[in-house]
Every structure is written in C-alpha cells, then in structure tokens.
Amino acid sequence: MNLRKKPLLQKSGGAGKEIFFYGDFKFRPAKIKKIVAENPKVKSFYLKHASTKLPHPGQFVMVWLPGSEEVPMSISDAGADFIRISVAKEGPTTAKFHKLKRDDMLFVRGPFGNSFSLEDSSYLLVCGGCGAAPLIYAAKTISRKGKRCTYLAGAKNQSEFLFLDEARRTGAKVHVATEDGSAGHRGLVTDRMEKLLEKKHFDSILTCGPEQMMYGVVKDGTSRGIRVQASLERYMKCGFGICGSCVLDPTGLRVCVDGPVFDGALLLKTKFGKQKRDACGSRVGI
Ligand SMILES: Cc1cc2nc3c(=O)[nH]c(=O)nc-3n(C[C@H](O)[C@H](O)[C@H](O)COP(=O)(O)OP(=O)(O)OC[C@H]3O[C@@H](n4cnc5c(N)ncnc54)[C@H](O)[C@@H]3O)c2cc1C
Ligand code: FES
C-alpha cells in the first residue's frame, strides 16, 4: 500500500468546514432532525445518519460540536436513516448541546465499542440516570427478538426517569425505585432488584448507570449465578484505543474498544466500583 497516497491524518470538507479524520474514523456531519425533552435534565437528539447496518445495543458514538470537546454518547435508538442520542446536561459541552435547535449540525464518529450479548431468553435491565440510554435500545432489540424483558429504573425522584413509556411499548414489564419515594419502591434500585430476583428467574441482567449502582447489581447478580453485563461510562478522549484514558485497572482493558460492555465476573477482578482514571489519567476513587 502506498501510504503517501493514503495519509493517516487528513483534512477534508470545504466552505469553511474542515473535518479532520483518522483512517476510517472520520467525523460525519449529522443534522439534527428532531429534539425531545425527555425530562428537565435530558434531551434526545435524533440525528440524520444513513447506514446500511444498524448499530448494536451498547455501542456509542463520539459527538463533537466545533468549539467544544468531543464526548462519548450511547446510542439510545436507531433506524435506517437516524441515530438517537440522549444527553444529560452535566457540564460545558452538554450544556452547549442543549442549546442546539432542529437543523443544526453535530459531528459524529463511530459507532464504537462492543455490545450487549442478547442470546438468552429472559432479561432484567437495571438502569440509573442516563444509563437508560443504551438499555432502552437493548429493550427494543430484545422485544424484536421475541424474548422476555423487565425494565427496572432507579432515580432520586420521579421527574428524573427516562423512557418508561417507551419501555412499556416494547412489551417490557416496568418497575421503578425512587430515593425520595415519589414513585414505586422507596429506596435504592439495587434493593428493588434484590426483591425481584427473590421472586422471579432471569437468565441475564444488563445494567448501566452510576458505577456504584452497577457494582451492587454485578455483585448481587453474579452471586446468584446470573450472568450480568455492565456498560461502563469512563473518561474517554480518543474513543478508539490509543490514549489509555479509559483503562480498566489493573487489566489494561480499555472501555472504548474492549467495552463499554463487560461481563460482571471479569469486572469483579478489577478496580470496578472502586477506582477510575480522571481527565489527567490519575487514579481516583469512585
Ligand atoms: C461509553 C459512554 C457512553 C455515554 N453515554 C452517555 C449518554 O448516553 N448520555 C449522557 O448524557 N452521557 C453519556 N456519557 C457521559 C458523557 O460523555 C459526559 O457526561 C460528557 O462527556 C460530559 O461532558 P461535559 O463537558 O458536558 O461535562 P464535564 O463537566 O466535562 O463532565 C461532567 C461529567 O462527565 C464526565 N466526562 C467528561 N468528559 C467525559 C468524556 N470525554 N468521557 C466520559 N466522561 C466524561 C466527567 O468525568 C464528569 O463526571 C457517556 C460516557 C461514556 C464513556
Ligand atoms: S478513550 Fe482513548 S483509549 Fe479509550
């Protein structure tokens, strides 16, 4: 191969829009087709994204708005001509996303990462906060495959829930837990999960949300002999395996390319739930 004809780092675009891309990992302009306010903190963006292959549940995209940082976002739904991302307003970049309007442009790389394995017959999906994003897409896929799905969501109060009606429309049984008791079980989602597992058998558990919550889900599920798959949200810079910012100590596994979905049994051999890397690459407690 003549590398000079195919440089790794290229510039493309025109009319004042220069797009840098690395090999096949190029940014694609993605026009915003629709915006839905899901709750006071989260907006869903339907992005025009033509692809011959649907992304797999659990995969994520790196999203960039010129002038801001590039951030990882799970795919919360997808079709032949769109992907949906559901963005919580957390800091400077996501605040700028929340100001965008229909027909504005974002730039997207990906989809990246592995995905949930959906070969079992019955699933319990346990989510907290924006962890609902990859799980609602998983719920739709599970339903399309004709398998059983229970969707359990936890939040501080009922205004924070995401996609409950959407989950019901997939045919999933929905349970909720709130810390202030404003809806469903009063207390932690992990306590509600424990009660569900005492009554009902599930082949597999999928989880995404705050890492301490997922740690509880993984410990409880695996101790009962149930396979748990957890989708991790770690600090990411490159999104394709070269910077090491998302490493899972001490294994060297990188969340962006080896994950974001990991088997619970493997995670329990790591610093999962206890330690992660910050923006500088330093180890910090969770
Ligand atoms: C695989 C993956 C999937 C994600 N999916 C979603 C999603 O569907 N919806 C959603 O709202 N958020 C998601 N996130 C988290 C999202 O990327 C951060 O909230 C976002 O980067 C915050 O950027 P900010 O500048 O607005 O806030 P900041 O003030 O910079 O950060 C707010 C919080 O987000 C974390 N964060 C900041 N930058 C990054 C980064 N580059 N990578 C990971 N975490 C970061 C910080 O540690 C901090 O805890 C996902 C993260 C990962 C790794
Ligand atoms: S984000 Fe760079 S290695 Fe994972």
Could you tell me the domains of the chain?
Answer: 19-112 (2.40.30.10), 116-231 (3.40.50.80), 233-286 (no CATH)
| pTM greater than the 0.85 cutoff | yes
Quote the ligand 1 centre to 44 CA distance (angstroms).
15
190 CA to centre of ligand 1 in angstroms: 23
Tell which wins on pLDDT, 177 or 276.
177
Atom of ligand 2 nearest to the CA of 237: 1
How far are the Cα atoms of 131, 182, 193, 219 from residue 187, in angstroms, in the given order? 18, 10, 11, 18
Closest CA to 240 of 59, 81, 77: 59
At residue 51, the pLDDT reads 77
Closest-CA residue, ligand 1 atom 10, reads: 87
Residues 243/62, Cβ–Cβ less than 8 Å? no
In which band, very low, low, confident or very high, does the pLDDT at 269 lie, cut at 50, 70 and 90?
A: very high
| Pairwise pLDDT comparison (91 vs 20), residue with the higher score | 91
Q: Looking at ligand 1, which atom is closest to the CA of residue 232?
A: 1
Instruction: Name the pLDDT band for 265 (thresholds 50, 70, 90).
Output: very high
The whole-angstrom separation of Cα 96 and Cα 39 is: 17
- Please compute the mean of the pLDDT values over residues 24-38 and round it to a whole number: 89
- Residue to mutate (ligand 2; options 60, 69, 245; most atoms within 8 A of CB): 245
For residue 13, the model assigns a pLDDT of: 36
Q: Whose CA is nearest to atom 47 of ligand 1?
A: 235
